[in-house]
Homo-oligomer: A and B are copies of this chain.
């Protein structure tokens, strides 16, 4: 832990804490102890814990983007979208605690404005889906297509918050991936059907 990469070190340690012990475990003191420094050092690197969590989330978003980008597009754009969905659900379920940290932050930061760099990272994740989506709905007007795309992402993003909790357990044996698959394909089929009218 040399001084020029304390930030990276803290973020890595923080990620480890979240992955191993859950998002609640990420507190200033526990992070300090795990990192072998004092709370003051953390506050020297980050204005506050919210900023730290944002830095953590930025890495999570980057990881998700890379995870999606690595998937090969199919010749069929529909299949490509399903592949992205698959990758997305896999990522969320495989990184439950980190994703909970991220979504929870979005909800908690209710009154504040999120900084540009953060919104940018979100957008970049959506951009991965964009070509395939545009290919499927090439005939729709750009304005509507943009909205349709946003709604698709928002619904998958928000539903993903439920995937990290046992809220769904109260609704019988619902398979989490099945939920997302149905949501995606019904939505896509619906857009296709609606545009013909």
Contacts and interface: CB of A to CB of B under 8 A. Distances in A.
Interface of A: 22, 100, 103-104, 106-114, 119, 122, 147-148, 150-151, 154-155, 157-159, 161-162, 164-171, 174, 178-179, 182-183, 185-194
A150 to B, nearest CB: 6
A77 to B, nearest CB: 16
Number of copies: 2
A114 B171 contact: no
A122 B170 CA distance: 9
Contacts of A193: 189-190, 192-193
Given A122-B170, A155-B183, A189-B189, 5 more contacts: A103-B107, A114-B170, A148-B186, A189-B194, A190-B191
Given A107-B161, A167-B106, A183 B187 contact: yes
Given A103-B107, A185-B190, A155 B159 contact: yes
